[in-house]
A and B are shown apart, each in its own frame.
Chain A
Amino acid sequence: MGAAEKKVNAMDSVKINVTVNGRSHEREVEPRRLLSDFIREDLRLTGTHLGCEHGVCGSCTILMNGQSTRSCLTFAVMADGAEISTIEGLGSIDDMHPLQAAFWEKHGLQCGFCTPGMLMTALELLRENPSANREDIREALSGNLCRCTGYQTIVDAVELAAETMRGA
């Protein structure tokens, strides 16, 4: 098929298959549909938040194929075939991930709006660098804005989680 035949008209849909938190979803989306809106509205997973929609605040951060990604700067069609992890897949209130438990312990959140983005970013960090120190943590979180906490307790929480995860 030549490229001309492949072109999808703006108003038509593209069929995509996205695995989110281990579950496969087949949907039809407009080319311009943002991954953030796909997650929040099409899949009804509203734990991923929109703070700016221009890639600065980090509230929309998810993992795509294990890598932290700003879902507001990704089209859903680009996630076709990808594995997405959102906050909803991290843990439950009865079975929290060490990161969630550590944020709770260390008061790493106040309003909770930036928190899912922080957690997913921290998850990537600790998977790659289980011995991350405070400097590593601060560097890793530098792309996630928080207006409530002043950040210190978020860093404390990630530090505690790293310790827990190393010990486990």
Chain B
Amino acid sequence: MSLDAYIPESRQTEKPRDSYKWIGKSMKRVEDPRLLVGRGNFADDVNLPDMAHSAILRSPHAHARILRIDKSKAEALPGVLCVMTGEEAAEVTGPLPSWANPPVHQYCIAQERVRHVGEAVAAVAAENRYIAEDACDLIEVEYEPLPAVVDLEEALSSTGDAVLHPYRGDTNVALARTFTFGPVEEDFAKADRVIERRFRWPRSGGTPMETHGAVASFDPGTGKFTIHANTSMYNYCGWMIADSLGVPAHKLNIIPTLAGGSFGAKLFSHKPCVLAATLARATGRPVKFMEDRIDNTTGCDAHGSDRVYYAKLAIKDDGTLLSLRTHIIDDYGAYFQFGVGQHGNALSQCVGPYQINSVEVELEAVLTNKCQQGAYRGFGSEVANFVIERLVDGAAAELGMDVVDIRRKNFITPDQFPYLIPTGNMYDSGNYAAVLDETLKLSEYDSWRAKQAEMRKQGRYIGIGVATCQERSVFSTTEFWMWNLEPGGEWTSSPDAVSLKIDPTGKAFVTLHSPFWGNSPETVVVQVLAEQMTLDPADIEVTYSDSDQGFNSTGPGGSRFTVMVTGAVVGAAHKLKKKLLRIAGHLMEADTADLEFRDGAVSLKGAPDKRLTIAELANTAHYFRLDLPEDLDLTSGLDTSYVYDHPVTTLPAKDNSHMGIFYPIMGHMCHIPVIEIDIETGKISFLNYACVHDCGTMVNPMTLKGHVRGGVVNGIGSALMEHYHYDENGQLQNALFTDYLLPSVLESPDDIKIGHVVTPSPFTEYGIKGGGEGGRMGAPPALAAAVEDALRPLGITIDELPLSPSRLRGLIREAQAGQP
């Protein structure tokens, strides 16, 4: 198929410009004042009259049959309203949402068996959380322990009692499938050599400061549930929660609260909603379920990728990269809510920024007795970045080639865009050499290489890492099902919507149908709308709809929101602007072609003093129908909405020879950290950190930098200290923040230099690309490279994270023992 036939036409209506009034400004955030004075409305701040509180009894076993539950003592405790077992919950509540096909059944309270430590075995609703927890202590459960499945490679051969979901067959393999894109066999035959490595990417998780939670109430007068929750996607698939609750979709209204961070974890946090609602129905009172930290670390349903890669990179001796083979085993934990969406995601950029001709991906997704995976910043692509960058560094090492040169040699070049990678995804635009050059400059690379040489003479271990990685944005729903063997739920819509109105006084109201996560949706909307309509940002109000009022909106995630909400605002603004121009033209007796928006008014081009302000026009539009044109399609008022679809996405081929275009708004970045290692203690200190991100046109450089920096620190966590560690019995060793180590300010570089290159997207409004995840997607490979570079005198290669002091010291000790 020709490129023209394969790639849909661009629907971009607003081309990138050289200068804007509001877009591109590092405007102070609209969201901040209320947060700064402690008036953000988070889930735990919701307080309804007569509200009860709930707690769950967490399973102490990784895998066990539930034989008997005696809740009599718990029920007798004063202040307890209800004690519910999984069996009782299942009488009125169905399985939780799952995109896997065939689905893996999960319930808000485990029935018959528990499948991970921390899974709810019972739930209590009581007058307050203290009593609820007292009651949990009084519930007696008899378990029959089953074999705990912990090692992901061993899990591939589980049978019998070790199988978590026997109704799916006598196996813990949830999905096994191989895709071959392009002439892999041929390309490997052509290779001069093959770089072969085993990589281990550890399980971590978004772990935002705010846990997941919901406050639910049930109105027996209407049979309707209302749930306040910090989940996203309530306007995309909130009906799935209604489904779980056994009510028709219009008998559920979900009201978003602010979310105290998500990083993907709250993408679709269905379990707290279903649990709280089930208890609300049972008790006849509003019920709050707020995860405490242990509920969260053990049962958040949002752990990150947990993978082994057997990877092979076929190369020529001149450094040309030919082909990539990966055999991946991914430990999904006990359930499978998103299927292997994380691997659909990885296919979007698994060849990195390089002209690699073919790819083979063999995937085995396995279920084990751990908290299930969800989404974590990168959603699986951060691992693909790590793998390809480590392989490229491996190639450089074997060939004696410079790490910068080998990358530059293999980059996709600017004239090759739009570029299709072997998996079928499109990279819309880019200039990778420009990003690399900018980063080399920003990081003072040559100067640091010289310093490194000097410091090495002093016996110091200094490392410089270079990672050049893709940061895709705007996911398409196809990534969630493209790997499925059986058809089912093959959605292709992933829009975002806004509602827009201007009131009789000229104030603009934008309603978002997606939540706030700490991204800056209100600020983005204000900047874009101000740009579109020349309004003053102070005259724009942004609110959030609930699911009753909401339009189809996918929400933040996959670095999509800025692109998507901009598209929606542009679409809505265009409609209102058209109407305003018509009204103005009529009132001013001018041709609409002679009119423009300027300084909050519609004025005559070339004669700006001949104007009607938006406020004046709005007043007329609302109250003076008989002054407007007679056309029947022109109604009173100024209100509209716009559902903005994914700007460019196509279906996978029926034979899966390619996956279509599903994640094409392709940002790119280069990270160059400089570190020093104390080889006696394994401690790493940062000497410098520079990165350059190309996220196309930037709406607010300050907030984008904020995401990059935050993402880099997430990446430092993943690379150096974060690992949800399950022992051989499936016990989570570090459910507490004393032991699951998040970087504090002292573990984060004090000056992360961030630069930008702008290659706009030809497909999005203004050419914006997403950049919310990139920091975390680039830091780990960059740090692994820096550590390897630092330990080069000892000949250590880095194939596994996190690089804790203990692991590093172990590698160093081994290497020193091996030396004469």
| Interface residues, chain A, with chain B CB atoms under 8 Å away | 30, 32-33, 37, 40-41, 44-54, 56-57, 59, 86-88, 90-93, 96, 100, 103-105, 107, 109-116, 119, 134, 138-139, 141-155
Contacts and interface: CB of A to CB of B under 8 A. Distances in A.
Contact of B292 (A53, A86, A155): A53
Interface string B345-376: 00000000000000000000000000000000
Given A54-B737, A112-B260, A147-B261, 12 more contacts: A30-B130, A49-B260, A53-B293, A88-B38, A105-B28, A110-B520, A113-B40, A113-B260, A114-B260, A147-B710, A150-B706, A152-B709
Nearest to B707: A110
Given A87-B37, A150-B752, A112 B746 contact: no
B183 interface: no
A104 B29 contact: yes
A91 B259 CA distance: 23
Contacts of A53: 292-293
Most B-side CB within 10 Å, residue of A44, A146, A151: A151
Interface stretch (B42-50, B184-192, B394-402, B616-624): B42-50
B45 A146 contact: no
B35 A112 contact: yes
A113 B32 contact: no
A94 B210 CA distance: 27
A97 B42 CA distance: 23
Interface of B: 26, 28-29, 31-40, 42, 44-45, 47, 128-130, 206-211, 258-263, 292-293, 516-520, 702-703, 705-707, 709-714, 736-738, 742, 744-746, 748-752, 775
A30 to B, nearest CB: 7
B709 A51 contact: no
B748 to A, nearest CB: 5
Nearest to B748: A151
A102 to B, nearest CB: 10
B37 A49 contact: no
Nearest to A151: B745
Contacts, number: 184
B297 to A, nearest CB: 10
Nearest to B736: A54
A109 B748 CA distance: 16
A139 B750 CA distance: 12
B710 A155 contact: no
A59 B209 contact: yes
Main secondary structure of the interface of B (DSSP, over half): loop
A113 B210 contact: yes
B737 A112 contact: no
A153 to B, nearest CB: 6
A37 B705 CA distance: 35
B208 A111 contact: yes
Nearest to B38: A47
Contacts of A37: 129
B261 A100 contact: no
15 contacts: A50-B44, A54-B293, A87-B38, A104-B33, A107-B706, A109-B35, A110-B710, A111-B209, A111-B518, A112-B32, A113-B208, A119-B36, A139-B746, A153-B706, A155-B745
A111 B260 contact: yes
A141 B293 contact: no
A151 B709 CA distance: 8
Contacts of A88: 37-38
A91 B37 contact: yes
Contacts of A149: 706, 709-710
A15 B752 CA distance: 51
A17 B742 CA distance: 37
Nearest to A116: B38
Contacts of A138: 745-746, 750
B210 A49 contact: yes
B505 to A, nearest CB: 21
Given A107-B703, A145-B737, A145-B744, A113 B38 contact: no
A50 B42 CA distance: 11
Contact of A153 (B36, B37, B208, B709): B709
A32 B131 CA distance: 11
Contacts of A116: 38
B629 to A, nearest CB: 42
Nearest to B45: A46
A122 to B, nearest CB: 12
Contacts of B746: 138-139, 142
Contact of B293 (A52, A110, A150): A52
Contacts of B209: 49, 51, 57, 59, 111, 113-114, 145-147
Contacts of A87: 37-38
5 residue pairs, one from A and one from B, having the closest CB atoms? A47-B38, A111-B518, A113-B260, A112-B35, A150-B709
A33 B130 CA distance: 8
Contacts of B259: 111
A114 B206 CA distance: 15
B36 A113 contact: no
Contact of A145 (B517, B711, B742): B742
A152 B37 contact: no
Contacts of A142: 744-746
A41 B516 CA distance: 24
Contacts of A33: 130
Contacts of B26: 107
A46 B42 CA distance: 9
Given A147-B742, A150-B752, A48 B706 contact: no
Nearest to B702: A107
A113 B42 contact: yes
A111 B31 CA distance: 9
